[in-house]
Amino acid sequence: MTYTALVAGGGIAGTTAAIALRKAGIDAVVHEAYDRTADNVGAFLTLAVNALDALRAIDLDLGEVGFDTPRITITSGSGRRLGELAYGTADGLVSRTVKRADLYRFLREQAAARDIPIEYGKRLVDAARPGGGGVRARFADGSTAEADLLIGADGLRSRTREIIDPAAPGARYTGLLNTGGYARAVPVGEPGMMHAVFGKRCFFSYTAHPGGEVWWAANPAQATELTPADVAAIPPAEWRARLGELFRRDRGPALDIIEATDEIFAGWNTYDVPSVPRWHRDRMIVIGDAAHATAPSIGQGAAMAIEDAVVLARCLRDGPGIEPAFAAYERLRRVRVERVVDQGNRTGGWKALSPVARVPRDVIMSLAMRHMARTGNDPSRWIYEHHIDWDEPVKAA
């Protein structure tokens, strides 16, 4: 069936959804709350193979955006190597690390190439179905828009989620902050190898770009949730001093990398959204972080959003109507995404342990990694081996 869609949110989930909908024969207009693009976003992320596989299903290839990161090593703060993991597909697809700004730019360019409109400065205020027809959305600037359906890809603080269910739970603070940066002239080994260091007092990860930069991130534990304004107000010198103290007792290049970083990212809180009871109502539905945000502990936030976008487009393409398509989408997605959120929460919890608890953690991790290496049985492989077949019809519930 042919529909029109209004997408609230012009980030990864929203723009990918619009592109997937176009491939399914559905016209969409993206409405982004901010009045500008995100081209200056400094942070980066790693897209796991399941994310790249989903992008490939809708004819998107990152090409030269970012760089391959096919393997990850895991070490302790004492320098002990706990293990190594590699994720890839049979045809050579491997994880890829990209700057968020570059990924946003790429998706926006792909949307433009498909004549998909993106309107900026359109913060969703309310939405309803007047007369039981399509959805009418109202924005903070006083304008309105109408379509057959509304897709809420409006993130952690989703207004669409509130409209669908005023009692819906909000974001849950994970007890960790996030910061990072780009360093130069620090020899850290093979380009593209991701290093995850479960330090004595803080988690640290880094990888070398083929061009010479070192991209890194840190997750300082912060038991009491700070306001976003309080986190943003932490000056760079304080971040540098705090990180220097956290990694002072660790072996490895963390201190050298931080010292060689000209500008440390302004930090931010990390959150997840464990379970939203109601994903859709009255031709409105939430996807991505609006429905099930995962902590950034296992690199699956963007991947789940991309998968959502592709699966929803398939369901709308094949469903006998909008609400049945929404129901099919939830049937296909809910168990998987909530399991991923739970996995991310557990992994994040290992980053925030006390110094005493980190000792048995490292022992457990080492034994688990040895077992995986010996048996080839990786209990998290189900996350990365997920495949979406665009051409396979979606079966009715």
Contact 87, 95 (CB under 8 A): yes
Residue 177's beta-bridge partner residues?
Answer: 269
* pLDDT value for 352: 55
Q: List strand residue ranges (DSSP E) for the chain, in order.
A: 4-8, 27-31, 44-47, 67-68, 71-76, 81-86, 96-99, 118-119, 124-128, 135-139, 144-147, 149-152, 172-183, 193-198, 203-208, 214-219, 261-264, 268-272, 280-281, 284-286
Contact 20, 312 (CB under 8 A): yes
* pLDDT value for 281: 97
Which residues of the chain are under the pLDDT cut of 50? none
* pLDDT value for 350: 55
* pLDDT value for 395: 85
Rounded to an integer, what distance in angstroms lies between the CA atom of residue 75 and that of residue 252? 9
* pLDDT value for 58: 98
* pLDDT value for 85: 83
Q: Summarize pLDDT for 365-396 with one digit per residue, the tens.
A: 666 656 555 566 666 788 888 999 999 999 87
Strands 172-183 and 268-272 turn out to be antiparallel
Helix or strand or coil: residue 119?
strand
Domain annotation for the chain: domains and CATH numbers:
4-171+273-384 (3.50.50.60), 172-271 (3.30.9.30)
* pLDDT value for 362: 63
